[in-house]
Every structure is written in C-alpha cells, then in structure tokens.
A and B are shown apart, each in its own frame.
Chain A
C-alpha cells in the first residue's frame, strides 16, 4: 500500500502513569506542545481536538483505540491549513512500554498515501515536541522552542 509514515522512539525516565498523564492532560500538554491543548474525554470512539492557543482547531479526529498507560491510536486530520486538510485523515499511535527505570515511547504518525504533506509537516514538528516532553518529565522544564505557538502560523 502506498503510504507515508513518521516513526520516532525515545526513552523517558518516568513512569507509564506520568507519561500517560503528560500525553493526555490538557494543562500538561500546553507546556510542551506550543501552548496547544487537547479537547477529548479519552474514551474509544470519542472525538479529539488539538486546540491552537488563539482558539482555532488545529487538528481533529477520534479515538480509535485506547488502553491507558499502554497504547493510544487516534485519527487525525489537519484543520487549519487547507492543503493539509484536503489530504484527509492520518493515524497517530503512541505505544508506551516500561523498561527498567524508563518508559519507551514509540510515536507513529502515518497516512495511506505517498508523499503526504501532512506527514512531512508533522515530521518536522514531532521531534521538537517530543524532546520537550522528555525534558519536561525529566527536568521539570520544557524546551524553549516548543513553549510558545509560532508567531504567524
């Protein structure tokens, strides 16, 4: 099948409970995800939205699979850039696995089309957001480059 995919594996010195909270709690998310928050009740089939700090909906979708502290799969469509929105839904997967004193976090963002512009765009964003998440959990401080929504975006 023709597809585009972003894959990232990182280790974070934390517990699955804390990492799950960091991935889902709106206040926590804001600190490492460029001030964006998620609007979702985290149940299978529920709608999911990523809100931009100025009030726009950045991305939206729904929860496909949820197994707290283990695995989360959601559909994801960009909402604020027409050329990305028209590509339709992508799929985001988080997998968490405790290994010793760390948690192995795998992030897969994929779409069933070649050369997806959405996957290209998120491939640039995820490393910064995920490094910042790691920094926040391990040191209590997020990275500077992901603490604010980029001006003019």
Chain B
C-alpha cells in the first residue's frame, strides 16, 4: 500500500536490494535469470530480495509469455520525495545535485 512506508524503508535498507534496483534502473524488465548474472548472490537470495522489493511496490512484475519480468516502480520513492521535499526546494536541490555530480563524477556515490 502507499501508506506502508515502513516496508519501503525496510526494503531499501539492504545493499543487495539496492543493487537489484540499480540493475533494473539500468535495464528495466529483466527476468530472475538475467538479474542473477554477474551478481555475487545466490539465486535464492535474489528471489528473496525481489519478493521484499515487490511487497514494498518498489518492483512490479509482469508475466509475458513464459517469462516473469521485473520492473523498477518509481512510485514509492517519488512519494517519499513528495512528502519531505517542498516544491520550492526542488530546483535548488537539483542544482546542488548537479554540482556535486560534476565535481565528483557520476558514480552513483
């Protein structure tokens, strides 16, 4: 649910789950098998992480033919931003983020 913000924070509080979100952000709509490639995690661990991400609505899944595809759903993170970031702060924050990015290089740090 939208109101279940605890699940969202809990899901985000794990580096492995954040890595899965990063992978989907880079290439949306992957199968479990694709997500497991080049990851230092067991298939079972990835399955478990994806379940928690899905329960938090951070990941949406679709069946297409025989494949289950995973999509990053940006809505819960957007709702967190809407809750604490005022509309007048948004422009200033973007400028600061861009400055930080250009000074540090874009390495998602």
Contact = CB atoms under 8 A, between A and B. Distances in A.
B62 interface: yes
Interface residues of B, number: 16
B75 A10 contact: yes
A8 interface: yes
A100 B1 contact: yes
A7 interface: yes
Contact of A9 (B29, B65, B69, B75): B75
Nearest to B74: A127
Interface string B36-51: 0000000000000000
Contacts, number: 40
Interface string A87-108: 0000000000001101000101
16 contacts: A5-B28, A7-B60, A7-B73, A8-B60, A8-B74, A8-B75, A10-B2, A10-B75, A11-B1, A11-B57, A99-B1, A100-B1, A102-B1, A106-B60, A108-B62, A127-B78
- 7 interchain residue pairs of minimum CB distance: A11-B2, A7-B71, A9-B60, A9-B73, A10-B75, A7-B60, A11-B1
Given A5-B29, A7-B29, A11-B2, 8 more contacts: A5-B62, A7-B71, A9-B73, A10-B75, A102-B2, A102-B3, A106-B60, A131-B78
